[in-house]
Chain A
């Protein structure tokens, strides 16, 4: 059963999910490499949690316009808007306090607002809200061909953009002052990186859900850092780990009943990290 799934013979839907998860894993791994090099790992956590109010608002807006509220691009647009607002809020607050505190405050209050909106939607009984909370932990069970295509092309686009921007991104992460002297605008590069991470988060909502997407960004990246001494190498290894975990995680969860996809992918990535630590970790740790 598992072998069939791994070889893409577990049925059309299972194959679709495996390939989609692999592409998502690759783009998350690559984006996460730059994110952790810039020391902004937890920013993605705030961003992911801040998508929730947007999903609720988009749902309400679409129901008000007469739909059933389940139109995926609409939900993702809403998610993107509040995630961007959350990011802006973190940056605004970080002028007055440590970035850590700003991140946590935004994460909690945006997420709280999202939950309030979800209870409002349930109370109103409008549209077809059932299953809206799958964005919390993701769900690949009902993944359609269109969803897999969105994930695949989204992941591919993110990876290409990272490839093109890898040098200025690396310069800003290594030494922002020098990057500025060399004519790179660190703010623009940070904004570009955050936009790419946001794209990964949005795409990942369908697979791992908003609580665990941060693992797909960070865990392969910190493992990859211990295997490579260059930025390109780190990003490539990270993408490879992400792709493998996505692929195998989806295949395993498809063949074992009740095993949710997102958490399995995260546990596989954690396994790779533990192995890496044992082999390449600092002895004095």
Chain B
């Protein structure tokens, strides 16, 4: 595994304390360019917090660099797809408006939206198979469809480092297949994908790297070498009876 200069994202000693509780305790990891990594670990292991700390959405100690520089400098190249429950679904926006929100780095916040921009957003919707829903209000979609719209927003942003928080939680099989297809094609195009994931049975099929997190890094590397019974037992405790090869 080559890291270092190739790394899209490098995290060193990430530590975060909520009141008296350590949410992250010196977690470190390296994510090479063009890789697709699953972050797994037990509940309360700090997986979501890890992503938010990386993005600076919560203030943690430690060093984070993306594409060799501070994250704040390259925010335009990073997209974040939050967990589903994060927004007010009755909000008066249509699907196309949500996707257009991903384009504003290009228009500037006060600039007007032209036809090219709308076409760009429509293309992003088409990639996730949602082009027919463009004029619907966001709350009128199913959970899986909403998740696909948020992925389309990340696509419209044109990011090449994409962080997703539980993208498959509570979505239908069609959505899961659509999302994983898009993520793989993005990776093949050189983008770096990092997703918090909880379904251990699909890790090997979906991802090529894995980061086992339990407040600190338990193991990281290629799925074949890292996704082992010993490492899982270390992360989840010995109670977990599951054959990762299955």
A67 at the interface (CB under 8 A from B): no
A-side interface size class? 20 to 34
Q: Which of B11-69 contact A (CB under 8 A)?
A: 55, 57
Judging by beta carbons under 8 Å apart, are B82 and A229 in contact?
Answer: no
A259 at the interface (CB under 8 A from B): no
Judging by beta carbons under 8 Å apart, are B57 and A225 in contact?
Answer: no
B86 at the interface (CB under 8 A from A): yes
Q: Which A residues are in CB contact (< 8 Å) with B157?
A: 182
Judging by beta carbons under 8 Å apart, are B104 and A171 in contact?
Answer: yes
A17 at the interface (CB under 8 A from B): no
Assess A230 versus B82: contact at CB under 8 Å? Given A174-B101, A181-B75: no
B169 at the interface (CB under 8 A from A): no
Judging by beta carbons under 8 Å apart, are B105 and A170 in contact?
Answer: no
Judging by beta carbons under 8 Å apart, are A183 and B93 in contact?
Answer: no
Judging by beta carbons under 8 Å apart, are A177 and B80 in contact?
Answer: yes
Judging by beta carbons under 8 Å apart, are B104 and A167 in contact?
Answer: yes
B179 at the interface (CB under 8 A from A): no
B79 at the interface (CB under 8 A from A): yes
A280 at the interface (CB under 8 A from B): no
Assess A39 versus B92: contact at CB under 8 Å? Given A167-B110, A181-B55, A181-B80: no
Q: Which B residues are in CB contact (< 8 Å) with A231?
A: 92-93, 97
B109 at the interface (CB under 8 A from A): yes
Q: Which of B139-162 contact A (CB under 8 A)?
A: 153, 157
Give CA–CA (A116, B79) in the complex, Å.
Answer: 53
Q: Which A residues are in CB contact (< 8 Å) with B57?
A: 177, 180
Q: Which B residues are in CB contact (< 8 Å) with A184?
A: 104, 109
- Could you tell me the distance in whole angstroms from the C-beta of B97 to the nearest C-beta in chain A? 6
With both beta carbons as reference points, the residue of chain B lying nearest to A170 in the complex is identified as B93
Judging by beta carbons under 8 Å apart, are B91 and A37 in contact?
Answer: yes
Judging by beta carbons under 8 Å apart, are B153 and A178 in contact?
Answer: yes
Partner of B86, one of A165, A175, A180, A229: A175
Q: Which B residues are in CB contact (< 8 Å) with A37?
A: 91-92
Q: Which B residues are in CB contact (< 8 Å) with A175?
A: 82, 86-87, 101
Assess A182 versus B82: contact at CB under 8 Å? Given A177-B57, A230-B97, A234-B92: no
B234 at the interface (CB under 8 A from A): no
Give CA–CA (A182, B57) in the complex, Å.
Answer: 12
Q: Which A residues are in CB contact (< 8 Å) with B102?
A: 182
Assess A164 versus B110: contact at CB under 8 Å? Given A181-B80, A231-B92, A231-B93: yes
With both beta carbons as reference points, the residue of chain A lying nearest to B79 in the complex is identified as A181
Judging by beta carbons under 8 Å apart, are B101 and A230 in contact?
Answer: no
Q: Which B residues are in CB contact (< 8 Å) with A180?
A: 57
Judging by beta carbons under 8 Å apart, are B105 and A182 in contact?
Answer: yes
- Could you tell me the distance in whole angstroms from the C-beta of B21 to the nearest C-beta in chain A? 18
Give CA–CA (A181, B105) in the complex, Å.
Answer: 10
- Could you tell me the distance in whole angstroms from the C-beta of A176 to the nearest C-beta in chain B? 9
With both beta carbons as reference points, the residue of chain B lying nearest to A237 in the complex is identified as B92
Could you give 7 example pairs across A and B, Cβ below 8 Å?
Answer: A168-B104, A173-B91, A174-B98, A182-B75, A183-B76, A184-B104, A230-B94
Please give me the 8 A-B residue pairs with the lowest Cβ-Cβ distance, nearest first: A229-B137, A168-B109, A234-B92, A175-B87, A229-B92, A174-B91, A182-B104, A171-B101
Given contacts A183-B109, A184-B104, 12 further A-B contacts (CB under 8 A): A39-B88, A167-B104, A168-B104, A168-B110, A178-B80, A178-B82, A181-B55, A182-B105, A183-B76, A225-B92, A231-B97, A234-B92
